[in-house]
Amino acid sequence: MKNRNIHFKPTTGLLIALLLACFAAVFISAPTPAKAGDMVPFNGTVSGFVESQEAVDGCTVHVHVVNFGNATELGAFTGYADFYPNFCEDYPNITYTGFFYWTAANGDKFEGAFDGYLTPTDTLGVYDNHETADVTAGGGSTGRFVRATSYFTLGGQLDFNTGSFVLPWQGIISTVGSTK
């Protein structure tokens, strides 16, 4: 009886193993949908203007700002922030801390803390922004953000001449409903 598999060479086993490895690599590297607990991109822009300000001490001012913007996972939002720039700590830079309180179009609240510093530009009164913001679970956020955690970095500029700012950001946020 003649062997019908005679045309298979010893290298065939190697080729089959290589082919299976390629299929495995494709399935392993294929994108998977976000699942509970995943962090996803959180990008947006917040703009606004100074509504009021008052001196806290010889170096620090409490500035109340009105916010509005749009972001992934959040959508359109409005709100305010309490911003505390310190003009003495790192001259000519301005260091600051603060808290933001945003409300999404559907009423969900999203709140957190931020800190950073401003560096002067060539235009008097205009500063480049270098900021980080954090949201921790249970920190006053409501609705789909009640247990959200987030971290994002903001750039952009603040103009003390007009009292306005535009701050784009990039970061991450826990997926909506990921802790339910």
CATH of the domain at 90: 2.40.160.20
User: Does residue 68 fall inside a structural domain?
Assistant: yes
Is residue 77 scored above 70 in pLDDT?
yes
Q: Is 21 domain-assigned?
A: no
Which pLDDT score, from 0 to 100, does residue 28 have? 41
Nearest to 115 by CA among 136, 101, 94: 94
Least confident of 16-20, 60-64, 157-161: 16-20
CA distances for 41 relative to 70, 106, 142, 170, angstroms: 14, 21, 20, 7
Q: Is residue 25 part of a domain?
A: no
Distance, C-alpha 136 to centroid of its chain: 13
16 found inside a domain: no
4 in a structural domain: no
How many whole angstroms from its chain centre is CA 166?
15
The pLDDT value recorded for residue 178 is 45
The pTM (predicted TM-score) of the whole model is 0.75
Please indicate, yes or no, if residue 76 is contained in any of the structural domains: yes
Q: Does any domain span residue 9? A: no
In terms of phi and psi (left: phi > 0; alpha: psi -120 to 50; beta: otherwise), the region of 80 is beta
Domains contained in the chain, number: 1
Share of the chain above pLDDT 90, in %: 66
Whether pLDDT at 22 is above 50:
no
11 in a structural domain: no
